[in-house]
Structure 1
Amino acid sequence: MWFAKSAPEVLTECKVDPATGLTTEEAQARLAQYGENKLEGKPKKSLIALFFSHLQDMLIYVLLGAAVITLVIGEYVDAIIILLVVFLNAAIGVIQEYKAEKAVEALQQMTTPKSLVKRDGQIQEINSEDIVVGDIVVIDAGRFIPADIRLIESANLQIEESALTGESVPSEKDANNIHPDPKTPIGDKTNMAFMSTLATYGRGEGVVVATAMETEIGKIAKILDEDIEEMTPLQKRLDELGRVLGFIAIAVCVLIFIIAFFQKRDLFEMFLTAISLAVAAIPEGLPAIVAIVLALGVTRMSKINAIVKKLPAVETLGSVSIICSDKTGTLTQNKMTVVKFYTLDNLQNVPSEGTGFEARQEEQELMKSFVLCSDATYEDGQGTGDPTEVALIVLGDKYDLSRQRLHTEYKRVGEKPFDSDRKLMSTLNQEGTGYRVHTKGAIDNILKIAKNALVNGQVVPLTAEMKANYLQVAEAMSDDALRVLGAAYKDTDRVIDPEEMEQDLTVLGIVGMIDPPRLEVKDSIAQAKSAGITPVMITGDHRNTAAAIAKELGIASALEQSITGTEIDALSEEEFAGKINSYRVFARVSPEHKVKIVKAYQEQGNVVSMTGDGVNDAPSLKNADIGVAMGITGTDVSKSASDMILADDNFTTIVHAIEEGRNIYNNIRKSVIFLLSCNLGEVVAIFASVLFFWPVPLLATQILWINLITDTLPAIALGVDPGDKEVMKKKPRDPKESFFAGGAGARAVLGGTLIGVLTLVAFYFGLNEYGYSLGSANIPDEVLTYARTMAFVVLAGSQLFYSFAMRSPTKSIFQLGLFSNKYLVVAVVVGFMLQLGVITIPFLADAFKLQMLSGGDWGIVILFSLIPLTLNEIAKIFMRMTAKN
């Protein structure tokens, strides 16, 4: 009952000094003793369980039944082949699923929440899984609580505990409270913070008293550990497509069987053929192919610092038409440097290098307030915390006002944290026998609540003329693309509540700091524009500052393309949505405005990507089609609400992610069209032969073998095809666009029909060599075997060669580079080697009822196999010529 004990008692029991935290050695020892700080999930399926799950299909059951029947009637070889193909198919499915699962696990590892802890006397950011009992955890707004914690310090701390209590209103916390009643409800334990809850306001520190399954949330882990596997919209569409095609295939197979019955064919042989054709024709591998391509794609994206949390985001990325981006850190370098400061009628430049500079009294007071009203640190050239605050600490160092000395001399006793609506932060520090409030934030907001100004060391009433001077200088700084921050103070003889802090302040002055644009962003913005994507800047900064940087980066061309939060509030939702496309910069906006901006763009038919990093950004991230959180400066809340995390907080990464998303979608499309073409070719060949009362060109085992070769390696190789270099020169894909738009459906039908017809032609050539035709009666078995071997090679070979044509609907294989997709080359080579092995190795040839072809016939079947690829390449030439005209 940690909540019933005082903070010193808890620290003693946990054997930790709150000032320094645990040592690295002690933390490692405790981690080894108690294990990682994560909830136990459901046991994963074993490989055996996965294997059997891939056999749970009605057609597979029928095929297994057919194998049993073949055993009973003595056709042992056919039975073995059927079983081998079925089990090989299942094994390949297991490998695909296992790889996809591993890739997703790797992504989940990347998105593991981080926590701030004191270790070895330093504040460090570590994975929450590495938290141990006794760790001193630093809590600030926007972070998830990583374990059960007994608070030892709190300042206006509020924690949202709905995961445990069901109450959506955040609970106020006070580290000094003690609850002696052992039956105190969780919601009333105000001195505790619990795992998986969320700090929404203020800050605090606490000692970890329980981790993993020992936490309150751990006790109800079974409720939370629901096995939910959501399919992406694309997977759902393809699953539906698979079902429709499956019903069609089964209908065709039933029709084949009925026709064969009336034709008095061998019914058992036709039964096997029909079932094999159904297994081959139904694209049961589609969801698996999509899953593995998506998983491999997002793993590849993680290497370019775009961590995709939700697979549907990959599909949506290809349709993004608006990128709403924060300015600071995303479009700029997030390396703030104070270059100017201003006290009334006195503007000074800050030296770029060196320390020990002198300043007048009001200038010293200005810098002192900035340093004391900051939570950042800066030591040995390294800063932690908000870059703006780091820049203020560095400014103090230059004028011998070090953070460590000031924070030791003027101890903080209260604070009112930064709020995006107020755009202010205030602290209360002890100063001599009294206290002083230090406030920093937007100068226009400070001027609204200020009463006096410090001028030449004297406190004087703040006049309208003085306000105009401050605002005029601030605007001039903004015009120079500087970020402006004001400071003020108030003396008091007592500890006052946060509500009283920001009243009747004395203005000290302002500073101007610059955050230069990222060097690579300008090119990325140009690339986004060429891809039909409109980049938009959203910032809390001054309108002029934002517009200046937007012009420099190529986002906007004039100040008229910017609008402020105040102006947005003056417009109705309909008016704003009507004018939204004329704006490129949204300045002085709050997180609430972001939601309004997203919805306005969406009403105009746009697919919107929105970046965010704060607690209050969560609604806009959720409302956007793609919510993008900052990996470095982002809070756990924003990361939780997002679809994607930028590990480097860089705008360029968003553009790269969109490019990757477009290519991933295109690759999935290639794989699907290829599979449908191949399956259709098999159906055409068998159905036509039955319909016209010709001998069947392929046996059941041969169909299953070809399906095994062509539906796996080539399809996956197409799924990892190198990206189209010109994909970002095209407009965003319409999310409502059919999967078969742009002639893709026609290509699948024509390609499949051509493959099927060529298979029959090859079969005819094989019969014709021995003087028989398709309509001949009493064809000897050895002649049928030879003809079927030719059909067998052409059906597989044409599909393998055709995979090269599927890489692009317009570019030839030579434009793309014949060997640019090495995986596909290997897949095709392996496919042909397997085909050759089945034909040339005697026991396999006998098993599959095949035989070696003559040299001339090998030439014929290779020639036939190349026809679909050749015709497709010729069609592309005409398409390119038509496009030029």
Structure 2
Amino acid sequence: MDDLKKEVDLDDHKLTLDELNRKYGTDLARGLSSVRAKEILLRDGPNTLTPPRTTPEWVKFCKQLFGGLQCLKGVSYLTITHYSHNHSAKSSKIMDSFKNLVPQQALVVRDGEKKNINTEEVVVGDIVEVKGGDRIPADLRIVSASGCKVDNSSLTGESEPQTRSPDFSNDNPLETRNIAFFSTNCVEGTARGIVINTGDHTIMGRIAALAMSLESGQTPLGIEIDHFIEIITGVSVFFGMTFLILSVILGYGWLPSIIFLIGIIVANVPEGLLATVTVCLTLTAKRMAKKNCLVKNLEAVETLGSTSTICSDKTGTLTQNRMTVAHMWFDNQIHDADTTENQSGTSFDKSSATWAALARVAGLCNRAVFLAEQNNIPILKRDVSGDASETALLKCIELCCGSVKDMREKYSKVVEIPFNSTNKYQLSIHENNMAGESNHLLVMKGAPERILDSCSTILLHGKEHPLDDEIKESFQKAYEVLGGLGERVLGFCHFQLPDDQFPEGFDFDCEDVNFPTENLCFVGLMSMIDPPRAAVPDAVSKCRCAGIKVIMVTGDHPITAKAIAKGVGIISEGNETVEEIAARLKIPVSEVNPRDAKACVVHGGELKDMTAEQLDDILKHHTEIVFARTSPQQKLIIVEGCQRQGAIVAVTGDGVNDSPALRKADIGVAMGIAGSDVSKQAADMILLDDNFASIVTGVEEGRLIFDNLKKSITYTLSSKIPEMTPFLFLLLANIPLALGTVTILCIDLGTDMIPAISLAYEQAENDIMKRQPRNPKTDRLVNERLISVAYGQFAGFFTYFVIMAENGFYPMDLLGIRLDWENQYINDMEDSYGQQWTYESRKIIEFTCHTAYFATVVIAQWAVLIVCKTRKNSYFQQGLMKHTHTFIQFTLNSFSFLFYSPLSTCLSFTFTSNLFIFYFLVFFLRPFWWVCAFPYTLLIFIYDEVRKYIMRRNPGGKCSGTVDDNKFLS
């Protein structure tokens, strides 16, 4: 796997055609011979991606259901098992998505003839021809091309189609123009190339293999639940074995002793935990679905809440994934473009003759068209056939000037020269029926410096002026300003072709150009950018308040990436990079201390040569980071670097190139609209609206899950020691049993479970996005301090001793009387008052104590339920009535209590007792016994309100620690 993480070692783009012929033993004209092709096919294997080893689906499901601790978790885990099983099948689904990228047929030249063959049969050295609409069948070194452009967005993240030509343009094989990559699309033009890699050896094949080889690891929530199970198991086994040993030492038989052991272990199991976990995750998944977040792996929701670093792609996530005209330069001024539907923000004079000329050139020298039957759809939302830049120009002119279609009908196109990498311009000639103008209008757009070089005049306020040095300097300044904003700038010019040289019907020749392309009239500049989404700056600000570092990782140019980063707040206003500090101080960059710069923009070329220690230094000492021109392997290295810092990392991505990073991250987030199938299969969550702001919603929901689970566990555990201590005192102090086993079940399955689940419905507190991400090593779901304070409720024994004392048995008198108490043949047991008690009358007192003890625990649990509702907010801020579910569960708890109180006591009798019917019908607790628990309840409530008040007043004090949030039962 380490080899797969390395940068691509490819030098074919640097070789001459003769060197390529010798290296691959091919012929550019005739191609490979059929015999040689078969030999290579046998040597290298078919041009396909190797599928991963698969396990039968039923085996995966059974492993999830019966493996490890799942057996102990019981039937409640069935729901989560379903999602775990789906998650384990992710690898094979990813590979299926990669298979969908493979074209079915390829056009090759063999034995001097063109042949259509299956893609699997393409071999290294084959001569392949592709045209617009084809999918590249293997990695190709381009040997000839005509207007060829390929869509590399799924591989490199670049939203614009990239030109392909035989020319070597960059040392980086991912950026050079003479390499076309397997599975990318040829969007226009034609090209011929030599196959240099097939199957698993292609760039896409390496990405697929890397994505398959990565393990995403256990989720933080899974770790926390396992940690909790380990603690509970340890506590349960310790107490169970202690009771077993004591009961044997005190003379109990093996069967009663084992029953004690099992009872203690069962009593420690929080029966509502797994149901609460499932309810929490399911409710959150439903809420997030309404907010355009599709959760594939339920446990990943909490992972997002624990996230401390978000590595976000730029295109489509932070931005709108649609090029938009941002600025224009004409009449020697920069103007802000307005692309709102109602044109409410237009900041320039649309009546200007220069603007009319600029709009005309932009509309005519443009191949983009609106798709049919969209007249009722707002212009900005219409689908367009054309590349991103021309689409932006088309929509801008349609909004500002009206129908471009009518404009083109008015100026019929005569001839056109498409844009190519050699000329760096697009030119077209149109018939012109405008009065006072010539019969033919030439319009041109392209790279600003190339267009300016073709001009000798400039249009200012509707009139032509010589293009002097002063104007050229103004042009250069405007160009630098717009380019510095990260915008793509295009230049526009026109020329009225003289009627005497170019009369009506003139035969224009694009091959042997017979019309002027020099001494034209420069009209202006228009710049485009993929604008940030409106909600992203606020979302980034919320992340910063929540202690989450947002890192941009993109394949775009550093200048564009930095401009967008500043626009959305990833680089804060006032924070400078090393280059900006050097420019401000007018010193070389090498003289600036890198740690003086809070912001940092790292080029993929620089990252390629960095050691792990150097990357760690950047991640550690810079708070605002942008990585630009990154490769898929580098995105993975960045994620691993963040994880080395102890961060829980969320990664967003939409392309095939993002799949390794999505798999490696603690949580991968794919784009639902622009995302590839591969990225969606690799991710744990899908943003249906491709909006970064939806991630922040997920962070809040994830934190809420952890808070609510912690509240639920605290509530559940607070009744466990009161259930166990009666048995401990029974053995050690030899006193009558204070709480019956049936009554314990009434607490665990009746009055505890439903309120515990209700806490899953609690709403977020107001500081949930203002606190730092939890530290998974110290801020645990359950810790030893929580166990100690939650296991500290002993109010039940107070009621037990009160009832016994009222009936003549003081606490000291109870010591050591258990054996006589349970002897049904002793009917003259004397109390402190000298009264004698029969066996049946003693049992009435004992079962009365069971009921009172039960009532005390339940009443105390009311207070615990109330104080568990918040971490820091007062009960009077959150309130019981504000949340319907908790209020309903509180009411059900009360009814359960009133129903179980006499019933649990009744059921504690043997059905052979002749007092059963009598007791069930007439026995009730005395009023005083009902209220014994209220002082404890009030104390719990008052103490917790005071503690939370201190926490709110002193957020940095000892009482505000994560562990101490649960000290209310102390």
Report TM bin, short chain.
0.5 to 0.7
Whether contact under 8 Å (2:243, 2:260) holds in the other structure is no
CA 471–153 in structure 1, closer or farther in 2 if over 3 Å, else same: farther
Equivalent-residue separation in structure 2 for 1:144 and 1:624 (angstroms)? 20
Whether contact under 8 Å (1:537, 1:585) holds in the other structure is yes
State the SS of the aligned residue for 2:792.
helix
Match of 2:549 in 1: 534
> Which of the residues 576, 579, 592 maps onto 1:560?
576
Please state if 1:834 is matched with 2:834: no
Deviation of the 1:367 alpha carbon: 5.1
Please state if 1:511 is matched with 2:526: yes
State the SS of the aligned residue for 2:673.
coil
CA 285–487 in structure 1, closer or farther in 2 if over 3 Å, else same: farther
Please state if 1:234 is matched with 2:221: yes
Match of 1:764 in 2: 801
> Which of the residues 468, 472, 476 maps onto 2:481?
476
Deviation of the 1:289 alpha carbon: 3.0
Whether contact under 8 Å (2:639, 2:649) holds in the other structure is yes
Match of 2:392 in 1: 391
CA 861–452 in structure 1, closer or farther in 2 if over 3 Å, else same: same
Please state if 1:589 is matched with 2:629: yes
Structure 1, 346-355 or 875-884: larger mean CA deviation: 346-355
Match of 1:543 in 2: 559
Instruction: Output aligned runs, 1:570-649, within 5 Å.
Output: 572-573=610-611, 574-580=613-619, 581-582=621-622, 584=624, 586=626, 589-592=629-632, 594-595=635-636, 597-649=638-690
Alpha-carbon deviations, 1:765-824, whole Å to 9, x = none? 222221124324534211111111111222333234312222334443223323334323
Please state if 1:292 is matched with 2:279: yes
CA 230–567 in structure 1, closer or farther in 2 if over 3 Å, else same: closer
Equivalent-residue separation in structure 2 for 1:45 and 1:538 (angstroms)? 35
How big is the alpha-carbon RMSD for the aligned residues of Structure 1 and Structure 2? 6.2
Alpha-carbon deviations, 1:503-531, whole Å to 9, x = none? xxxx9985313666555444433332222
CA 313–748 in structure 1, closer or farther in 2 if over 3 Å, else same: same
CA 535–474 in structure 1, closer or farther in 2 if over 3 Å, else same: farther
Instruction: Output aligned runs, 1:73-92, within 5 Å.
Output: none
Whether contact under 8 Å (1:546, 1:587) holds in the other structure is no
Count how many residue pairs are aligned between Structure 1 and Structure 2.
Answer: 705
CA 364–809 in structure 1, closer or farther in 2 if over 3 Å, else same: closer
> Which of the residues 759, 763, 785 maps onto 1:718?
759
State the SS of the aligned residue for 1:660.
helix
Please state if 1:699 is matched with 2:740: yes
> Which of the residues 677, 693, 710 maps onto 1:652?
693
Amino acid corresponding to residue 484 of structure 1 in structure 2 = R
> Which of the residues 852, 856, 868 maps onto 2:924?
852
Equivalent-residue separation in structure 1 for 2:252 and 2:644 (angstroms)? 62
> Which of the residues 725, 739, 746 maps onto 2:785?
746
Equivalent-residue separation in structure 2 for 1:563 and 1:367 (angstroms)? 39
Q: Normalising by structure 1, what TM-score?
A: 0.63
> Which of the residues 818, 827, 834 maps onto 2:880?
818
Match of 1:781 in 2: 843
Equivalent-residue separation in structure 1 for 2:482 and 2:936 (angstroms)? 73
Please state if 1:524 is matched with 2:539: yes
Deviation of the 1:837 alpha carbon: 1.1
State the SS of the aligned residue for 2:670.
strand
State the SS of the aligned residue for 1:759.
helix
CA 632–820 in structure 1, closer or farther in 2 if over 3 Å, else same: same
Equivalent-residue separation in structure 2 for 1:831 and 1:53 (angstroms)? 34
Instruction: Output aligned runs, 1:332-411, within 5 Å.
Output: 332=319, 336-338=323-325, 340=327, 370-372=366-368, 380=377, 381=379, 382-384=381-383, 390-395=391-396, 397=398, 398=401, 402=405
Structure 1, 809-818 or 785-794: larger mean CA deviation: 809-818
CA 450–474 in structure 1, closer or farther in 2 if over 3 Å, else same: closer
Deviation of the 1:569 alpha carbon: 1.9
Equivalent-residue separation in structure 2 for 1:788 and 1:272 (angstroms)? 19
Equivalent-residue separation in structure 1 for 2:392 and 2:224 (angstroms)? 51
Amino acid corresponding to residue 801 of structure 2 in structure 1 = Y
Deviation of the 1:297 alpha carbon: 1.9
CA 391–531 in structure 1, closer or farther in 2 if over 3 Å, else same: same
Equivalent-residue separation in structure 1 for 2:645 and 2:71 (angstroms)? 46
State the SS of the aligned residue for 2:382.
strand
Deviation of the 1:324 alpha carbon: 4.0
Deviation of the 1:715 alpha carbon: 1.9
> Which of the residues 239, 249, 256 maps onto 1:252?
239
Whether contact under 8 Å (1:107, 1:307) holds in the other structure is no
Please state if 1:689 is matched with 2:736: no
Amino acid corresponding to residue 626 of structure 2 in structure 1 = F
Match of 1:676 in 2: 717
Alpha-carbon deviations, 1:96-120, whole Å to 9, x = none? 855x689999999xxxx9xxxxxxx
Equivalent-residue separation in structure 2 for 1:411 and 1:605 (angstroms)? 61
Deviation of the 1:675 alpha carbon: 2.7
Match of 2:774 in 1: 733
Equivalent-residue separation in structure 2 for 1:736 and 1:237 (angstroms)? 10
State the SS of the aligned residue for 2:306.
coil
Deviation of the 1:394 alpha carbon: 1.8
Q: Normalising by structure 2, what TM-score?
A: 0.58
Deviation of the 1:853 alpha carbon: 0.9
Whether contact under 8 Å (1:547, 1:559) holds in the other structure is no
State the SS of the aligned residue for 2:899.
helix
Which of these two proteins has the greater Rg computed from alpha carbons? 2
CA 363–604 in structure 1, closer or farther in 2 if over 3 Å, else same: same
Deviation of the 1:681 alpha carbon: 3.3
Unaligned runs of 5+ in 1: 1-40, 61-89, 114-141, 155-160, 179-196, 206-227, 417-421, 433-437, 458-463, 495-506
Amino acid corresponding to residue 185 of structure 2 in structure 1 = G
Instruction: Output aligned runs, 1:60-459, within 5 Å.
Output: 97=78, 200-202=183-185, 232-264=219-251, 271-283=258-270, 285-327=272-314, 329-332=316-319, 336-338=323-325, 340=327, 370-372=366-368, 380=377, 381=379, 382-384=381-383, 390-395=391-396, 397=398, 398=401, 402=405, 453=454
Whether contact under 8 Å (2:307, 2:650) holds in the other structure is yes
Amino acid corresponding to residue 371 of structure 1 in structure 2 = R
CA 477–268 in structure 1, closer or farther in 2 if over 3 Å, else same: same
State the SS of the aligned residue for 1:560.
coil
Amino acid corresponding to residue 285 of structure 2 in structure 1 = V
Deviation of the 1:560 alpha carbon: 2.6
Whether contact under 8 Å (2:306, 2:648) holds in the other structure is yes
CA 663–347 in structure 1, closer or farther in 2 if over 3 Å, else same: closer
Deviation of the 1:869 alpha carbon: 4.3
Equivalent-residue separation in structure 2 for 1:291 and 1:410 (angstroms)? 67
Amino acid corresponding to residue 777 of structure 2 in structure 1 = K
Alpha-carbon deviations, 1:433-468, whole Å to 9, x = none? xxxxx9999x5xx97x999857779xxxxxx99999
